[in-house]
């Protein structure tokens, strides 16, 4: 895996440096790397059983009867029930995000 001579090492380093600089320029110019590189999305997110790399915002349907809040994630169909007297919008949104993971 070494270099045959000094020039080939410099050549490899130059190519790597050029790609790195190009990647930084693309990043700062909001270029979608996924259009040019099929595996690049794994640089920012590795899908596991604990989370999804889906970047769509979480969206849930909610129903509240008394202190019971029932919620269903529209993306994955998961449902949950919570006992909450007067939940704030931010709490409801936080629960929705957790449910949609």
Supply the pTM of this predicted model: 0.48
Residue by residue, DSSP assigns the chain as ---SSHHHHHHHHHHHHHHHHHHHHHHHTT--GGGT-TTGGGGT----SS-----SPP-EEEEEETTEEEEEETTT--EEEEE-SS--HHHHHHHHHHHT-
Q: Could you read off the pLDDT tens digit of each residue along the chain, which spans 101 residues?
A: 556 555 555 556 567 777 778 777 776 776 666 666 766 656 667 667 766 676 677 899 999 999 999 999 998 899 999 999 889 999 999 999 899 87
């Amino acid at each position: 895996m070494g270099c045959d001579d000094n020039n080939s090492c410099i050549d490899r380093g130059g190519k790597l440096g050029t790609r790195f600089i190009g990647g930084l320029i693309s990043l700062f110019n909001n270029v979608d790397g996924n259009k040019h590189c099929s595996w690049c999305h794994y640089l920012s997110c590795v899908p596991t059983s604990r989370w999804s790399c889906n970047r769509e915002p979480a969206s849930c349907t909610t129903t509240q009867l008394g202190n019971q809040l029932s919620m269903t994630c529209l993306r994955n169909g998961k449902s949950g029930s919570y006992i909450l007297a007067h939940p704030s919008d931010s709490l409801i949104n936080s629960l929705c995000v957790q449910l949609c993971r």
